[in-house]
Amino acid sequence: MIVAKNITKHFGKLIALDDINLACDAGQCIALIGPNGSGKTTFIKSILGLVVPDKGEIVFNGKNISKDWQYRSQIGYMPQIGRYPDNMTIGQLINMLKDIRKHDCKQFDEELITDFQLNKMLDKRMRTLSGGTRQKVSASLAFLFNADVLILDEPTAGLDPLASEILKEKIIREKQKGKLILITSHILSELDDLVTEIIYMQDSKLIFHKNIDALRAETGEQKLSKAIAISMTKILENA
């Protein structure tokens, strides 16, 4: 569904993405992991067209995204730090996005708005919201359009355990519908029962991209964090 070929991006002298190649397919739930500053968010932003890569191309459903914009109707994006117009209320924000996307979305998925009880505070202004509530709004907006691809950047950061569980269950339900889900996270234990593929990035490079079952079989570990740790030591030994 999404194919990235030789993506390279510089910010001044800093290399943010160094020759990234990967392919993602529908039905997969991919965890994009790596230390801070390893280029995860930059990569996600280049898929969305928010960052323009210096080299390489990203193909979405067989179409190069650099000249296209309609492909974004198939993406629901939850940013790491949700930044919204300060003096809009939650209700106005949701209605505006519905209005903008009503042509490409037949039915809105308001499950998360209800589950997070956002409909009780629709007239609260965005600037008055706490970090967690803001995150709930971001999540609700990402799922609102029933998109085929969900890109979630640190979805559970800042959420309370209850909300985090609601979101996780929602992600599992959407995965079962055969959607492609791309998650970045630092909390590996959280991803255990979610993901089918692991992409590990470090120093702007893609270190490995493996199926989780293959990874577990290879390392003999059930827990994701241990499996990755073992896999990483192997790679370092080989290098």
Partner 1 sequence: MHKVIKYVIIDILRNKIVLAYTLFLFLISFTVFSFEDNTAKGLLSLLNLILFIVPLVSIIFSTIYIYNSSEFIELLLSQPLRRKQIWLSLFAGLSVSFTLAFLIGCGIPLLFFEPTTTGFIMTFIGCLLSIIFVAIAMLAVVSTRDKAKGIGVAILLWLYFALIFDGLVLFLLFQFADYPLEKIMMIISALNPVDLSRIIILLRLDVSALMGYTGAVFKDFFGTDIGFIAALGILILWVMIPLQLSLHKFKRKDL
Q: How are beta strands 2-11 and 55-60 bridged, if at all?
A: antiparallel
Output 35 or 85, the one with its CB closest to partner 1: 85
Output 80 or 202, the one with its CB closest to partner 1: 80
Is 33 a binding residue for partner 1 by CB under 8 A? The answer is no
Q: How are beta strands 197-202 and 29-33 bridged, if at all?
A: parallel
Q: Are 13 and 21 in contact (CB under 8 A)?
A: no
Is 77 a binding residue for partner 1 by CB under 8 A? The answer is yes
Q: How are beta strands 180-184 and 149-153 bridged, if at all?
A: parallel
Count of other CB atoms within 10 angstroms of residue 177: 10
Q: Whole-number minimum distance, CB 194 to partner 1, in Å?
A: 23
- State which of residues 104, 160, 203, 213 lies at the interface with partner 1 (CB under 8 A): 104
Q: Whole-number minimum distance, CB 55 to partner 1, in Å?
A: 14
Is 238 a binding residue for partner 1 by CB under 8 A? The answer is no
Site string for partner 1, 7-26 (x = CB under 8 A): ----x---------------
Helical residues (DSSP H) of the chain, grouped into ranges: 40-48, 90-101, 111-115, 131-144, 161-176, 188-191, 212-219, 224-238
Segment interacting with partner 1 (CB under 8 A) among 56-64, 84-92, 181-189, 220-228: 84-92
Judged by CB under 8 A, the number of residues near partner 1 is: 27
Applying the rule CB under 8 A, the residues between 131 and 170 that interact with partner 1 are none
| Alpha-carbon span 189 to 155, nearest angstrom | 14
Is 98 a binding residue for partner 1 by CB under 8 A? The answer is no
Q: Are 109 and 144 in contact (CB under 8 A)?
A: yes
The torsion angles phi and psi of 197, rounded to 5 degrees, stand at: -135, 150
Binding site for partner 1 (CB under 8 A): 11, 45, 48-52, 69-73, 75, 77, 79, 83-88, 96-97, 99-101, 104
